[in-house]
Structure 1
Amino acid sequence: MTHLPNRTIDLDGQEYLYFSGTAYLGLPHNPAFQNLIQEGLHQYGSVYGSSRNGNLQLTIYEQAEQKLASWAGADAALTLSSGMLAGQATVRQLMLEGYEFRYSPDVHPAVWHLPQVDIAKETFEHWIENTLAILQTTHQKITLVTNAVDALRGKLYGFEWIKAVPEDREVVLVVDDSHGLGITGTGGCGVWERIPKRKNVRLIVTASLAKAMGLPGGVIFSDPASLHHIRYSAYFGGCSPVAPDHLYAYVHADTLYADAYERLQVNISQFTDSIRDLNLLSFTDNYPVFYSERDELYPFLLERGIFIYSFSYPKPTDKANTRVVLSAWHTAEDIQKLSAACRDFAALYL
């Protein structure tokens, strides 16, 4: 392909409806959002070739971080040039502080402290039970690391179990919200609001901004003290910052984000109402990812002019993951065509 996917793509001269990717709010192809980026480009240029800790500071970073923190409901925010970097800056700081890491199933590599780590081969619920049991006996400094969303299977994780962490144990909870920020929570504000706050649990939420938010960067939400340590680490100081023209667009795009969120919710409702009875796709209400164990759904839909997500992730040796991903850029007619094809598949094979 020689162009960025939109609601449709062109492959070998044939047009397909595109139900893949992670541009949940459809912002990369939103003309008004592109215009804001152009405005930011004229004011700030394409990149800021300096350290955020240098002796010249651009105010757009502080403006965007204050806006992000206020929207998410967090105490403070810190931006970086990718979600991967946000995760790595976080875990590297916690390594310096002497923490051990306990990972939940399918946690994203962005928050691994090593290139390869031991990931729990159990359900998320069993991981919670085992984790709470370990916290009753261990004296290690523990960081619990998890995703906010199982985006591969369209499932949001609950966090009420945090209330069961023993009061005499101080732990850190790191949550990757890359597939939740912008589309879950009140108005898309993400996971922060639904995690119970405990005095003995230090909360750090990391996220990519390159998915729903449409920005080439990442963000860390936490308390000011934790972010201060990350901000003034050598790791952060040596990083190039997120491009300021895109942060300018973010600061001025309140209406665009709100409109896209509402359009996405309409699309989700239309699709879920039409396929809920099929037993073909697993999903969570109001979330745009629909998982299927039937990998043959991919070629079936492809023959009908519909391109969906189906490949191994995060490693090429992993089992293929087949899912339908909705975006704000889809039309009611697009959703109707997808629904009809899914119903055809179910009638033939289920």
Structure 2
Amino acid sequence: MSDEFIINQLPSNKILLKGKEYHFFSGTSYLGMNQDEDFKKLLIEGMNRYGMSFGSSRNGNLQLDIYEQAEEKMARWVGSEKSLTVSSGMLAGQLVAQYLKTQNATFFYAPHSHAANFHEPNICLPNLSFEAWATTIGDEILEKNALHSVIVCNSCDALKLSRYDFNWTSQLPIGGVPHNQAITLIIDDSHGLGITGKNGSGIFEQISVNPNIRLVIVSSLHKAMGIAGGVVFGDNDFIETLRHTAFFASCSPIAPAYLHAYMYADEIYARNLQNLQSNIHRFNLQISNNQLFSFLPNYPVYYTLQDDLYDFLFENGIFIYSFAYPIKAGKPNTRIVLSAWHEEEQIDFLAEKCKEFSQI
């Protein structure tokens, strides 16, 4: 594996390393928003109106209307009653986790849950498959007999490309758990929002729960959406409670210029989502008989156990994702990431080189 590289420009579909140009198939800018010229114009328009940032508490005595407007629009899009934006996806997870911690809730974490949603450091995650964990979570809740149980999981395994089955959520409470027991289900949709679900609206409307189950979705907006911030989706009462916590009041808000851009970017998001889906379809057709990758239908990430693919593609002018995550130790996670910003010629070149590697 090569050493880390440092560049002085933001990646797009190509990057410049030591004077040589490489096709860039890494990162998480699935819709290419951080280099979209039309989105940049909207962002600059927002900066001219609202400045670079809003240096105040969202609970102060002077409010900016753009926050409420954008949050109402996001909630309608996703299908939740209400939403609340914060300045990062990590903060979205911590806002929810730290509030529920004050409610003496008992937490149950699924395998591979993201650390952004931990209520305390050094959580020990279950060492089994998501499917196996889902069959036992009801029994775990019953055994603990807690007054309030919190279940935390991701919407999918975005590292090793596994799509999770959430049919079990409609059966909660299960295994004899009393129907009056409070259960909060938190799903991190950071790698789904913007590119999965109807019109990119993510997983919210795909989850079915019983009336005593509170569904909360947390997500980064920085990945597909190209917005430097995070969001929490949920029912009116829960979001209003979060809104008035000291944790939320003490945090700097998301820069309002991004939300201004979001308000007027519907056509840009729709166009880029269509471009991304076209790129996925084009690449899939060319690797359909290739056993090199694990991947999901209509999803832009391709995972491989063959870490040597990184060096091979790098030698051929293609830069892909390959490093250990989230802890910088152990086996690298090697994968290819497609984006809306890739041209057809780049997709074809990548597919050709992947075929060559498979034949070696």
TM range (shorter): over 0.9
Candidates 291, 310, 314, aligned match of 2:322: 310
The one-letter code sitting in structure 2 at the alignment partner of 1:51 is S
- May I ask how many residue pairs the two structures share in their alignment? 348
Deviations 1:122-166 (A, max 9, x none): 100111112122234431121110001211122322211112212
Determine the structure 1 residue equivalent to 2:38: 32
Determine the structure 1 residue equivalent to 2:351: 339
1:6 maps onto 2:6 in alignment: no
Candidates 154, 163, 167, aligned match of 2:170: 163
Calculate percent identity across the aligned residue pairs: 45
Give, in whole Å, the separation in 2 of the partners of 1:292 and 1:276.
15
Give, in whole Å, the separation in 1 of the partners of 2:330 and 2:238.
35
1:126 maps onto 2:132 in alignment: yes
Give, in whole Å, the separation in 2 of the partners of 1:293 and 1:194.
30
Give, in whole Å, the separation in 1 of the partners of 2:38 and 2:328.
37
1:113 maps onto 2:119 in alignment: yes
Q: Which runs of 5+ in 2 are unaligned?
A: 1-6
Give secondary structure in 1 for the equivalent of 2:294. Answer: coil
Give, in whole Å, the separation in 2 of the partners of 1:115 and 1:333.
45
Give, in whole Å, the separation in 2 of the partners of 1:119 and 1:171.
19
Alignment of 1:126-145 (within 5 A): 126-140=132-146, 141-145=148-152
Give, in whole Å, the separation in 1 of the partners of 2:338 and 2:23.
11
Alignment of 1:263-282 (within 5 A): 263-282=275-294
Candidates 182, 194, 210, aligned match of 1:182: 194
* Deviation (angstroms), 1:273: 1.3
Candidates 155, 179, 185, aligned match of 1:173: 185
Normalising to structure 2: TM-score of the pair? 0.95
Alignment of 1:230-269 (within 5 A): 230-269=242-281
Deviations 1:299-331 (A, max 9, x none): 011011110000010011242100000000001
Give secondary structure in 2 for the equivalent of 1:206. Answer: strand
Give, in whole Å, the separation in 1 of the partners of 2:330 and 2:69.
41
The one-letter code sitting in structure 1 at the alignment partner of 2:167 is E
Determine the structure 2 residue equivalent to 1:43: 49
1:25–1:260 Cα contact (<8 Å) kept: yes
Give, in whole Å, the separation in 2 of the partners of 1:282 and 1:273.
14
Deviations 1:240-293 (A, max 9, x none): 000000100000100000000000000000111111211100011000011001
Candidates 79, 90, 93, aligned match of 1:87: 93
Candidates 159, 164, 174, aligned match of 1:152: 159
The one-letter code sitting in structure 2 at the alignment partner of 1:186 is K
Q: Which runs of 5+ in 1 are unaligned?
A: none
Give secondary structure in 2 for the equivalent of 1:245. Answer: helix
Give, in whole Å, the separation in 1 of the partners of 2:251 and 2:332.
34
The one-letter code sitting in structure 2 at the alignment partner of 1:81 is S
Determine the structure 1 residue equivalent to 2:76: 70
Alignment of 1:206-217 (within 5 A): 206-217=218-229
* Deviation (angstroms), 1:346: 0.8
1:132–1:164 Cα contact (<8 Å) kept: no
CA RMSD of aligned residues (A): 1.0
1:306–1:338 Cα contact (<8 Å) kept: yes
* Deviation (angstroms), 1:45: 0.1
